[in-house]
């Protein structure tokens, strides 16, 4: 089995060799390692992308807007780097749309890492494939095939507000159960607790 | 009294870093301390009469076992090479996580001797190979088989029977990734498992000579005297492969140097030293002289340094005996200040190592802080401003910013990865083709480029926005923010200049390993010795912590 360390080093070198800068190559090396760790087909997709990268003219999303359109397909790497670098302004849009993104799975690690940086979950829909990014700790998805995804015509991305996934009532019920680990204090222990016997007006 | 940590701009120069010596913080010493109460075993020893075959050694504690699997092979003298381009070795080794099964041993037998072209699994932690020092090995076998002990004077000239030529870990060639084992307390210090491998290989070399000698002449053969064994280590040939490591692991470099500097600071802040502490310091200093006087090399570069070190040590000991008083407050600070004023780098750093010897309570807590998680600060803080980035460069890289990279000599070399062995190499960019494939190791040059690029930019511009049009500088933007947090993360010198001595970079790393007797064979590779004077596995339960100065050689 290829180790994750080998994956990172080899992808970094390959990324540099097709023409990206070393700084970007470092990002992509980490990203593919991340995809493979989460069980997503990073190597398959980057390998296929690099085969065509220098023969096709990809566009870049340089500055993100709410809706990002192009007739040509966007490069997932430069668009991903810019997504990460502009994440604080992009997250204010709450929702963005990208049309025509090449190899969208290569965009995923940038989104996952952004989720950690901005401290919000992000929901991503690549055509009919759904991904929920949980602060770069896990990715929840209905995409299980492990295939290469060469193109996506429509991507929707939502920055989710930090809110509970349960009701007040459900929390109260659980809290009540947890109270069963507490012990009733005696009068004596109350009197001897921290600060006891002192005046707070000294 | 509060002593400041030494200034990185002064300390992180390559000539200074290339003067570092082993110390109590060194990894091979901390490895022995960590594993001294583990159970050592030779689990398997299947060598033929010529000493070829396989063997397994292990360390176990509670439910954890680490097993060294050894394969000794027959190779011809023509095939024996210490260069990384070699394809056969006298012996090859892998450290297996747990007790290897029959199937594991079969699998390893097919892969370990092939080294870089074999494949290991997540069950293996480190991989290595070694060649015999034929002159020493044959002499020892010959002597033992005739019932004699070998000539210790001859042995002292080399100091080992085998030389390793590479020790791999952390995911290379399919080995286990670091994350799989990083939470194990016994390997919190860096390179613990690499040290374990080398240590067990040392024992294998003794067992192998005894075995061959016995087969050669069963009636007269004797075993190698254990005191002679203790005075033999394992050699190592190291080339440029090690140099980029310290550039590519800035946080790790910081943590190593910071531990050393913190120890020095705390020792300089000691107001009074006890009689026992003074005695340990003086004893180690005197005993250690043997390691310097028996330091043999043909390198003019190193011989000059050794000569200077000898002269300086003589001067220092005279000063200690005739002028210095330990009764005056802050004695070690006084020693350090005197050394700075009167001695050269090689000896100053030697004394720094010696000062640590009496102070377990200072060094021990620092050892576990010498590992790092390089991913922790990988993300560039995109919301910081150009003004902040400029300030970091001006404050942390002022030495580097003084270098004029328009001068040919400051821009002479480039680092690349060789096609045939995938190993780092260095070449003159004006003579050799390939500088378009340069590795990102010219940090000083690229930092200066970054500084010139941002010099006139608006202070309030966010780094994330700057990167949109400047991703060619992304790698050094990342480093600048790492260096802001970790003062010793960066070599404050030019790694591509015509005056670069790459062996300074190797020496820095090897000194932290605990190597002694640096023997440069050119400006690009050197030989060293590890574990010379170290306790044998049977001594581990109770041994002298200052064993490194016990060598008779």
* Residues B302, B35 contacting (CB under 8 angstroms): no
Residue A196 has pLDDT above 70, yes or no: no
Domains in chain A: boundaries: 4-159
For B375, name the nearest residue in chain A, comparing CA atoms only.
A30
Inter-chain CB proximity A5 and B478 less than 8 Å: no
- Element (DSSP H or E) covering residue B163: strand B160-168
Residue A138 token pair: 């896990």
Return the beta strands (E) in A25-167 as ranges: 67-68, 95-102, 122-126, 129-134, 138-141, 151-159
β-pair partners for A201: none
The complex scores an ipTM of 0.88
Query: What are the structure tokens assigned to A163, written together?
Result: 């809110």
User: How would residue A200 be classed by pLDDT, with cut points 50, 70 and 90?
Assistant: low
- The H-assigned helical ranges of B54-122 are 102-111
pLDDT in tens, chain B (553 residues): 899 999 999 999 999 999 999 999 999 999 999 999 999 999 999 999 999 999 999 999 999 999 999 999 998 888 887 776 678 899 999 999 999 999 999 999 999 999 989 999 999 999 999 999 999 999 999 999 999 999 999 998 889 999 998 899 989 999 999 989 989 999 988 899 999 999 999 999 999 999 999 999 999 999 999 999 999 999 998 888 888 999 999 999 999 999 999 999 999 999 999 999 999 999 999 999 888 877 778 888 888 888 999 999 999 999 999 999 999 999 999 999 999 999 999 999 999 999 999 999 999 999 999 999 889 999 999 999 999 999 999 999 999 999 999 999 999 999 999 887 778 899 999 999 999 999 999 999 999 999 999 999 999 999 999 999 999 999 999 999 999 999 999 999 999 999 998 889 999 999 999 998 888 888 888 889 999 999 999 999 999 999 998 765 4
Which residues make beta-bridge pairs with A129? A126
Alpha carbon of B323 to those of A179, B171, B269, B338, B348: distances in Å?
Answer: 71, 54, 21, 11, 18
Q: Which residues of A touch B465 (CB under 8 A)?
A: 85-86
With CB atoms and an 8 Å threshold, state whether A22 touches B179.
no
Find the radius of gyration of the CA atoms of chain B. Answer: 24
pLDDT of A194 above 80: no
Q: Whole-number mean pLDDT of chain A?
A: 93
- pLDDT at position B67 is 98
Q: What percent of chain A has pLDDT over 70?
A: 96
pLDDT in tens, A152-184: 999 999 999 999 999 999 999 999 999 999 988
> Which residues of chain A have a CB within 8 Å of the CB of B475?
21-23, 26
Q: Give the minimum alpha-carbon distance from B450 to chain A in angstroms, rounded to a whole number.
A: 13
Q: Does the beta-carbon distance from B121 to A84 stay under 8 Å?
A: no
Across the interface, do B478 and A81 touch by the CB < 8 Å criterion?
no
pLDDT recorded at residue A74 = 97
Residues of A whose CB is below 8 A from B177: 3-5
CA distance B244 to chain A (A): 14
Measured distance CA(B522)–CA(B77) in Å, rounded:
23
Q: Show which residues on chain A lie within 8 Å of chain B, measured between beta carbons.
A: 1-6, 13, 17, 20-24, 26-27, 30, 62-63, 78, 81-82, 84-88, 113, 117
Please state, in angstroms and rounded to a whole number, the distance separating the CA atoms of residues A150 and B547: 62
**3-state DSSP call for residue B338?**
helix
Alpha carbon distances (Å) from A87 to A66, A84, A91: 13, 5, 6
- Nearest by CB to residue B171, choosing from A6, A13, A82, is A6
Q: How many CB atoms lie within 10 A of CB B28?
A: 24
Q: Which helix (H) or strand (E) holds B353?
A: helix B345-356
Domains of chain B, by residue range, sit at 36-239
* Closest CB to B472 among A2, A21, A85: A21
Cβ separation of B478 and A4 shorter than 8 Å? no
Cβ(B187)–Cβ(B193) below 8 Å = yes
| pLDDT, tens digit (0-9, with 9 covering 90-100), for A12-25 | 999 999 999 999 99
Q: Do A5 and B172 touch (CB under 8 A)?
A: yes
The two beta strands, A138-141 and B64-72, are unpaired
The tokens describing A87, both together, are 């994440």
Cβ <8 Å between B177 and A84: no
Dist. CA A50–CA A15, nearest whole Å: 8
d(CA B362, CA B267): 8
Q: Indicate the length of chain B as a whole number.
A: 553
Residue B97: other Cβ atoms inside 10 A: 21
Sheet containing strand A67-68, edge to edge, reads A67-68, A95-102, A151-159, A122-126, A129-134, A138-141
Distance CA B120, CA B96 (A): 10
Q: What is the pLDDT of residue A202?
A: 62
Per-residue burial over A129-147, b = 16 or more CB atoms within 10 Å of its CB, e = otherwise: bebbbeebeebebebeeee
């Amino acid at each position: 089995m290829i180790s994750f360390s080998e994956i990172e080093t080899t992808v970094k070198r390959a990324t540099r060799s097709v023409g990206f800068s070393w700084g970007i190559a470092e990002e992509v090396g980490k990203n593919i390692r991340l995809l493979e760790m989460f069980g997503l087909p990073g190597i398959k997709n980057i390998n296929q992308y690099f085969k065509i990268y220098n023969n096709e003219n990809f566009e870049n999303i340089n500055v993100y807007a709410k809706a990002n359109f192009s007739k040509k397909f966007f490069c997932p790497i430069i668009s991903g780097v810019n997504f990460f670098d502009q994440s604080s302004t992009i997250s204010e849009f709450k929702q963005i749309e990208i049309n025509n993104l090449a190899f969208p799975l290569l965009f995923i690690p940038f989104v996952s890492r952004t989720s950690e940086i901005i401290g919000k979950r992000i929901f991503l829909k690549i055509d009919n494939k759904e991904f929920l990014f949980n602060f770069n700790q896990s990715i929840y998805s209905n995409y299980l095939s492990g295939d290469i995804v060469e193109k996506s015509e429509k991507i929707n991305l939502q920055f989710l507000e930090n809110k509970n996934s349960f009701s007040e009532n459900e929390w109260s019920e659980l809290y009540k159960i947890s109270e069963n680990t507490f012990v009733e204090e005696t009068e004596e222990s109350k009197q001897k607790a921290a600060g006891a016997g002192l005046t707070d007006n000294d | 009294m509060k002593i400041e940590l030494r200034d990185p701009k002064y300390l992180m120069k390559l000539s200074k870093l290339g003067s570092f010596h082993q110390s109590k913080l060194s990894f091979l010493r901390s490895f022995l301390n960590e594993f001294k109460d583990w159970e050592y075993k030779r689990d398997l020893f299947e060598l033929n009469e010529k000493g070829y075959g396989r063997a397994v050694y292990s360390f176990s504690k509670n439910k954890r076992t680490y097993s060294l699997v050894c394969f000794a092979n027959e190779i011809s003298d023509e095939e024996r090479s210490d260069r990384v381009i070699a394809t056969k070795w006298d012996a090859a080794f892998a450290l297996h996580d747990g007790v290897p099964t029959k199937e594991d041993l079969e699998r390893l037998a097919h892969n370990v001797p092939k080294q870089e072209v074999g494949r290991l699994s997540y069950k293996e932690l480190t991989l290595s190979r070694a060649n015999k020092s034929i002159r020493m090995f044959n002499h020892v076998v010959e002597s033992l088989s005739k019932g004699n002990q070998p000539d210790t004077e001859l042995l002292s000239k080399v100091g080992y029977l085998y030389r390793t030529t590479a020790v791999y870990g952390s995911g290379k060639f399919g080995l286990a990734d670091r994350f799989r084992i990083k939470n194990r307390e016994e390997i919190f210090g860096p390179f613990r498992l690499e040290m374990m491998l080398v240590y067990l290989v040392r024992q294998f070399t003794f067992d192998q000579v005894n075995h061959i000698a016995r087969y050669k002449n069963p009636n007269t053969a004797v075993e190698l005297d254990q005191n002679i064994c203790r005075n033999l280590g394992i050699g190592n040939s190291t080339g440029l492969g090690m140099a980029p490591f310290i550039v590519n692991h800035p946080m790790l470099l910081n943590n190593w140097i910071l531990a050393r500097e913190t120890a020095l600071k705390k020792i300089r802040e000691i107001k009074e030293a006890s009689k026992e502490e003074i005695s340990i310091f003086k004893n180690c200093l005197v005993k250690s002289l043997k390691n310097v006087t028996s330091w043999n090399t043909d390198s003019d570069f190193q011989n000059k340094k050794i000569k200077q070190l000898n002269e300086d040590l003589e001067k220092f000991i005279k000063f200690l005996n005739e002028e210095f008083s330990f009764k005056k407050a802050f004695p070690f600070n006084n020693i350090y200040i005197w050394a700075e004023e009167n001695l050269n780098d090689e000896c100053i750093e030697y004394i720094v190592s010696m000062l640590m010897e009496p102070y377990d309570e200072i060094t021990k807590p620092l050892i576990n802080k010498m590992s790092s998680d390089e991913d922790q600060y990988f993300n560039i803080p995109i919301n910081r401003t150009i003004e902040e980035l400029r300030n970091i460069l001006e404050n942390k890289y002022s030495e580097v910013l003084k270098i004029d990279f328009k001068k040919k000599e400051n821009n002479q070399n480039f680092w690349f990865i060789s096609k045939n062995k995938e190993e780092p190499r260095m070449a003159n960019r004006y003579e050799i083709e390939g500088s378009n494939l340069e590795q990102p190791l010219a940090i000083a040059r690229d930092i200066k480029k970054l500084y010139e690029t941002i010099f006139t930019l608006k202070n309030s511009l966010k780094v994330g926005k700057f990167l949109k049009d400047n991703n060619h500088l992304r790698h050094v933007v990342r480093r600048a923010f790492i260096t802001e947090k970790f003062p010793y993360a960066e070599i404050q010198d030019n790694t591509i200049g015509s005056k670069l001595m790459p062996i300074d970079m190797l020496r820095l790393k090897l000194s932290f390993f605990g190597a002694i007797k640096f023997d440069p064979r050119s400006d690009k590779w050197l030989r060293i010795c590890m574990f010379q004077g170290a306790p044998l596995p049977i001594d581990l339960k109770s041994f002298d912590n200052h064993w490194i100065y016990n060598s008779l050689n």
